């Protein structure tokens, strides 16, 4: 056998195998590659959509946080205002109560002063009658004594 004939037979075998691979194997390989490319493209598109959705969600979260901060600041301001109102009301109530207690104390002092003056008048009138009785060296009857005491108390 000659090298040329072997070379020609091997060439025919090569082209036959290449033709069989091109006819029956190549379409399956190309289909698998195209399917894989389609899956990769879909995955990339899904990743892009996910990134866009994530960016939109992040924007929504940031907006919600801004609104929450604004509402929180409003609530804090309202709480401060309410606290100031409560403090002011308590201060006013304390002033009113202090004035009421002061008025009660002054009224009590006036009443005690009046009672002391009346007691003093009675004691002075008793002393005066006692002194007059000793001067006169005689006893005054009870009705006259009481009338005299009342009269002296009225004069004092």
Total structural domains within the chain = 1
Please say whether the beta carbons of 1 and 10 come within 8 A.
no
Please say whether the beta carbons of 148 and 129 come within 8 A.
yes
Domain of residue 52, residue span: 3-155
pLDDT score recorded for residue 136: 65
Residue 146 pLDDT level (bands cut at 50, 70, 90):
confident
* Structure-block tokens of residue 17: 């195998």
Express each pLDDT in 71-104 by its tens digit. 999 999 999 999 999 999 999 999 999 999 999 9
Residue 137 has pLDDT above 60, yes or no: no
Mean pLDDT of 20-49: 92
């Amino acid at each position: 056998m000659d090298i040329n004939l072997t070379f020609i037979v091997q060439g025919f075998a090569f082209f036959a195998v290449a033709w069989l691979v091109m006819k029956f194997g190549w379409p399956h390989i190309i289909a698998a590659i195209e399917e894989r490319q389609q899956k990769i493209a879909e995955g990339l598109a899904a990743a892009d959509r996910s990134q866009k959705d994530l960016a939109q969600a992040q924007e929504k979260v940031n907006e919600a946080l801004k609104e929450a901060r604004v509402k929180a600041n409003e609530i804090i301001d309202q709480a401060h205002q309410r606290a100031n109102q409560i403090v002011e009301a308590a201060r006013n109530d304390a002033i009113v109560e202090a004035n009421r207690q002061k008025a009660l104390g002054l009224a009590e002092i006036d009443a005690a002063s009046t009672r002391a003056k009346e007691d003093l008048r009675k004691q002075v009138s008793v002393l005066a009658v006692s002194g007059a009785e000793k001067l006169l060296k005689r006893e005054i009857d009870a009705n006259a004594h009481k009338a005299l005491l009342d009269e002296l108390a009225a004069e004092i």
